[in-house]
């Protein structure tokens, strides 16, 4: 295969060497999971059964978890007075839970994902994969704000 790019003007199609695909983009993705099967991980990244936001008040027995942290470089936000860089990255967090029946639940809520990370840091993940973790999906009021945030309670 040739290393050069092919450009077709009529429909603005640009074809690059397939090797460029793996390294393109400025986003850095880190994934952490208890799931052993790479096919299952791939499928979960493309489709989940439920959005956790639609499951408020429900009990879920979590058997597996996948957490993705996506860090993307952005145009720097500069403080006009000091010249200091205020923000130059955007961080997104995604949490995917698998229940004891094999159903998957996804959220892009940073607060929910951070809470799940905190649980794992405090208690480890052995209980999740060995016994399952019973949680109840809740919505919390954010301190000093009228906003709501997704979270969970241990059931």
Q: Is residue 90 part of a domain?
A: yes
Q: Is residue 102 part of a domain?
A: yes
* The predicted structure's pLDDT at residue 23: 54
* Consecutive H or E run containing 6: strand 6-8
Q: Is residue 62 part of a domain?
A: yes
Of residues 1 and 10, more confidently modeled: 10
Provide the whole-model pTM. 0.77
Domain count, the chain: 1
Percentage of the chain lying above the pLDDT 90 cut: 53
pLDDT in tens, 25-61: 677 888 899 998 999 999 998 999 999 999 999 999 9
Q: Does residue 70 register a pLDDT over 50? A: yes
- Give me 84's structure tokens: 């200091």
Closest C-alpha to 52, from 5, 129, 112: 112
* The predicted structure's pLDDT at residue 143: 80
- C-alpha count within 13 angstroms, C-beta hemisphere, residue 59: 6
Q: Is residue 11 part of a domain?
A: no
Q: Does residue 76 register a pLDDT over 90? A: no
Contact residues for 6 (Cβ-Cβ < 8 A; gap 6+) = 14, 15
Is 99:60 a contact under the CB 8 Å cutoff? yes
* pLDDT mean across residues, the chain: 85
Distance CA 114, CA 136 (A): 16
Distance CA 19, CA 117 (A): 34
Region 99-126: what's the mean pLDDT?
A: 94
Q: Is residue 16 part of a domain?
A: no
Q: Is residue 85 part of a domain?
A: yes
Domain of 38? 26-154
Is 110:94 a contact under the CB 8 Å cutoff? no
Q: Is residue 20 part of a domain?
A: no
Distance CA 31, CA 41 (A): 10
Q: Which of 2-6, 28-32, 60-64, 123-127 has the lowest mean pLDDT?
A: 2-6
- Give me 63's structure tokens: 């058997």
Is 91:26 a contact under the CB 8 Å cutoff? no
Q: Is residue 17 part of a domain?
A: no
* The predicted structure's pLDDT at residue 83: 85
* The predicted structure's pLDDT at residue 1: 43
């Amino acid at each position: 295969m040739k290393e050069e790019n092919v450009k077709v003007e009529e429909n603005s199609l640009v074809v690059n060497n397939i090797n460029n695909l793996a390294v393109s983009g400025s986003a850095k993705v880190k994934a952490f999971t208890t799931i052993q099967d790479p096919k299952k991980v791939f499928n979960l990244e493309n489709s989940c059964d439920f959005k956790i936001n639609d499951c408020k008040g429900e009990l879920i027995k979590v058997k597996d978890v996948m957490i993705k942290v996506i860090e993307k470089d952005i145009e720097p936000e500069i403080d006009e007075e000091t010249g200091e860089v205020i923000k130059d990255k955007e961080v997104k967090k995604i949490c995917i839970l698998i229940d004891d029946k094999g159903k998957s639940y996804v959220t892009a809520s940073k607060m929910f994902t951070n809470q799940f990370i905190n649980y794992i840091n405090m208690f480890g993940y052995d209980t999740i994969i060995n016994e399952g973790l019973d949680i109840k999906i809740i919505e919390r009021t954010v301190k000093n704000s009228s906003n709501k945030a997704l979270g969970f309670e241990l059931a």
